[in-house]
Chain A
């Protein structure tokens, strides 16, 4: 790891100044877990890191007064979310996802903002935020903008964030009547990065899938909403035939790449199987809410 500078601004404005707007070797730092890995591997040699840990505006998480949204500050750590009874009550799928995400020590420091900004398509949380319909508030010298989580990602390690822009927080709707489940499918070992990450949400009316939210990650270059599969399922009664049609639709609408975790053909099979299983799982209500 090469020599570098560290700055720890306390105000957002100072952070903007330090980061500048020139693409280069100055980066913001959340928990630093992803940055450290890249720096140790000499994949990334920053001249300066701007730590966000002293900026109060990026911290904290709370339920809105009308209980319709949860705001989560970008510097919130995974462990804070994992251990929060409020999150367990309103966003149980987040609590569920934490259990197999990295390990305790990483969760103790990794942050919600750093995780989103990293843009690695194998991360477990981005598809969850996307399926939940979360929106991301991005701030910078030129003001702020709000982007749906699923629109944050442009491709492999690519996001809409410009140099100098920061994720300030995310807003996650609490969706009564919905049940969500995150299927982390690993192939090389029980504990691994996912070969396939699939977040599934349904609003069930009896046996009928009144509404559905499906986001796929890991097997694709960015978290991707399975729109055709959603359309195939919306308003339909749960049946093996319906699930098979949804799987066909999903396979037709995404491009799956093979890698060390599985060939493209195999991951397609995994998607087919786990899409059906995850939907059945949430429809049965035995899911994480």
Chain B
């Protein structure tokens, strides 16, 4: 944890390497890709949330002039006999297979050279269904007789999900359990016991570049061009589906117009692959903005948290019952359930902890990873709960946190000790920026003001691997071959900075080769704040390897120590002309120890993501209208290698989470999404940005295992923001909101409820 001076090169706020291409509009996205002879696919979707498909009538669509072909699962089976995929369970059919499990599920695809014709034809397809009883609510799904899947099929692809079985005869895809100490006994001797239930709603990533993939199947090998955050996984999973070796599947990813966890694992890739095989032509599918709501979303979460405290206000027992609504297909939900379950007791030092975290299937659009892997949903519960306990015990909300805070070296609920995690300093930084000790204006007239804070942390998916190649050309110029996807977070720039730091080069001169699985080596995925740490380390190792090879070459050439001959001259000496390469490789696999049956491990996470937030709100008590007037986000990112890029991540994640806190909500009626368009699903605009908005990282933090002391920070400010606002609302009104989003009507209803004059609900 000792502070070191950040190295000169790496810590520059270098502008993005690709900045000019972005402002001129010339940058490459899959969105724009066209291949000769390419067909466009338009998806026909189910209108039923749960039903058997009796028949699909494609005749009118097929007869429309310009339509190339209409494809259903029957056609796909001819090229892929077992057309089911998924990162955790092989539960998702490439197109609906006899049954639909959510309203919006792909049932058929029209292929045409003209996109408009494909669209028009898709509108001509009809399907007949036999409706089945459906289940939408996660609590109901836990015990429901309605089964979304008759059979559970674990995938066993990822190391951390090897033990997945699912519970036979239920909707439970995963039940994660953690046991520490003796929770029951501790509750029995507790002086105070508190129990509360909090809920988070279903929301969506809304990348501005909607999902898009292009497949080109030719003579037994496949090229996929796709807006994916995880090209290596795409290759592995598609190769498995096709029964091909990995080298017959090539996955290329240019820049992404946003991802936020949505564009992970398999999304459109399996579908376009199958279509290209069926049609024997390149096929592209680009979703519209509205269709994205049916691709992947964030888990609704129902969290009952119970704490036992001793007379001094020390938390001695905590029980967490967390239920994740995974929608119709598991996607990576089991990892969300596990990862977020793992830290669901919060950043507190508690000896006796029980955690049960369940992933359940329902008849909603599938849920997967979204910026924070469930940590924001759990923090919403545990940090609101924290304030409620402090208030009930008449303790200061900050001091109560300090008293119970998990500190360096102490074991977290899983037994993994806290290491290089600046939880308290992050909180103190927030308090400072909030002027916490100054008198606070509580408003007047119909305006009430309040303020609140929240703290939180998250573990990082493990064990995972990144591989990097550094290539020095004979003229000394450098190219970096990595599978990390730059979706806006600035990874190209930061990775170049790391290589530059080791090799003593100008980072802006380094070329970063974009993911192309024929060229770039394996990377587990651009997800969960892992890239700076894992790929950053791999790049560092690769650069060091290259450097060592230069030193070997120097010795071979008999150059005196410290000769510092330019590489080009060394290469000329060695090869008699400007020729050859120096290739450095680096592989990084974080230290990991599999948890035991109690969920205990001393190495559960390679590092800790840490975030703290503070909010000031103004509430109009006559309408419930809420304004966040000040928002402070602080994260521990270790050493900020590119402070500007870090700051953008912190504020960007913060505003996104602000949307998830106040406005965004996928609303369903009988399983039908009623607001699946940006006209009705409101993401933040410039007008929603708080007037005072501060985003900073904890100064002089250092992660001993990270490259040059750095760790990831793309998610940290999503964690504690919602509870900071919820706590500020409670501070203003003395009324607790339990469910997200915190809308004006929700606030007004809660106020009326508290007055004993509840507002009538719509029939």
Do any CB atoms of chain A lie under 8 A from CB atoms of chain B in the complex? Answer: yes
Interface of A with B (CB < 8 Å)?
A: 1-3, 42, 187-193, 258, 260, 262-266, 269-270, 273-274
Q: How far is the CB of A266 from chain B (nearest CB, A)?
A: 5
Chain B at the A interface: mostly helix, strand, loop or mixed?
A: loop
> A264 touches which one: B116, B667, B762 (CB < 8 A)?
B762
Complex interface: chain B residues within 8 A of A264 (CB): 760, 762
| CB-contacts of B409-458 with A (<8 A) | none
Chain A at the B interface: mostly helix, strand, loop or mixed?
A: loop
Residue of A nearest to B681 (CB): A188
Q: Are A269 and B120 in touch, CB under 8 angstroms?
A: no
The segment from B332-340, B521-529, B742-750 found at the interface with A is B742-750
Q: Are A189 and B684 in touch, CB under 8 angstroms?
A: yes
Complex interface: chain B residues within 8 A of A1 (CB): 116, 119
Instruction: State in angstroms the CA–CA spacing of A260 and B684 once bound together.
Output: 17
Instruction: State in angstroms the CA–CA spacing of A191 and B743 once bound together.
Output: 14
Residue of A nearest to B759 (CB): A265
Q: Are A193 and B679 in touch, CB under 8 angstroms?
A: yes
The reply on B191 being an interface residue by CB < 8 A is no
Complex interface: chain B residues within 8 A of A274 (CB): 623
Instruction: State in angstroms the CA–CA spacing of A192 and B685 once bound together.
Output: 10
Q: Are B663 and A260 in touch, CB under 8 angstroms?
A: no
| CB-contacts of B640-684 with A (<8 A) | 662-663, 667, 674-675, 679-680, 682, 684
Complex interface: chain B residues within 8 A of A193 (CB): 679
> B760 touches which one: A3, A42, A187, A263 (CB < 8 A)?
A263
Instruction: State in angstroms the CA–CA spacing of A270 and B119 once bound together.
Output: 41
Q: Given A269-B759, A270-B623, are A190 and B748 also a contact pair (CB < 8 Å)?
A: no
Q: Are A188 and B663 in touch, CB under 8 angstroms?
A: yes
Report the 4 A-B pairs with minimum CB-CB distance, sorted nearest first.
Answer: A189-B682, A258-B762, A190-B687, A265-B760
Q: Are B761 and A191 in touch, CB under 8 angstroms?
A: no
Q: Are A266 and B679 in touch, CB under 8 angstroms?
A: no
Q: Are A260 and B680 in touch, CB under 8 angstroms?
A: yes
- Interface size class of chain B, counting residues whose CB lies under 8 Å from the partner chain: 20 to 34
Q: Given A260-B667, A265-B761, are A273 and B622 also a contact pair (CB < 8 Å)?
A: yes
Q: Are A266 and B745 in touch, CB under 8 angstroms?
A: yes
Instruction: State in angstroms the CA–CA spacing of A270 and B687 once bound together.
Output: 21
Query: B94-132 vs A: 1/0 string, CB under 8 Å?
Result: 000000000000000000000010011001000000000
Complex interface: chain B residues within 8 A of A260 (CB): 667, 674-675, 680
Complex interface: chain A residues within 8 A of B685 (CB): 189-191
Residue of A nearest to B746 (CB): A266
Q: Given A192-B682, A269-B623, are A187 and B674 also a contact pair (CB < 8 Å)?
A: no
Residue of A nearest to B669 (CB): A260
Complex interface: chain A residues within 8 A of B667 (CB): 260
Q: How far is the CB of A51 from chain B (nearest CB, A)?
A: 20
The reply on B246 being an interface residue by CB < 8 A is no
Complex interface: chain B residues within 8 A of A187 (CB): 625, 743-745
Instruction: State in angstroms the CA–CA spacing of A194 and B92 once bound together.
Output: 40
Q: Beyond the given A187-B745, A265-B759, A269-B622, could you list 20 further A-B residue pairs with CB under 8 A, ordered by the A residue number?
A: A3-B116, A187-B744, A188-B743, A189-B663, A189-B684, A189-B685, A189-B687, A190-B687, A191-B685, A191-B688, A260-B674, A260-B675, A263-B760, A264-B762, A265-B762, A266-B745, A266-B748, A269-B623, A269-B748, A273-B623
Complex interface: chain A residues within 8 A of B623 (CB): 269-270, 273-274
Instruction: State in angstroms the CA–CA spacing of A46 and B674 once bound together.
Output: 25
Q: How far is the CB of A218 from chain B (nearest CB, A)?
A: 14
Instruction: State in angstroms the CA–CA spacing of A265 and B623 once bound together.
Output: 12
Instruction: State in angstroms the CA–CA spacing of A262 and B761 once bound together.
Output: 10
Complex interface: chain A residues within 8 A of B120 (CB): 2
Complex interface: chain B residues within 8 A of A2 (CB): 116, 120
Q: How far is the CB of B38 from chain A (nearest CB, A)?
A: 20
Q: How far is the CB of B356 from chain A (nearest CB, A)?
A: 34
> B759 touches which one: A3, A188, A189, A266 (CB < 8 A)?
A266
Residue of B nearest to A262 (CB): B745
Instruction: State in angstroms the CA–CA spacing of A117 and B729 once bound together.
Output: 43
Q: How far is the CB of B601 from chain A (nearest CB, A)?
A: 43
Q: How far is the CB of B755 from chain A (nearest CB, A)?
A: 13
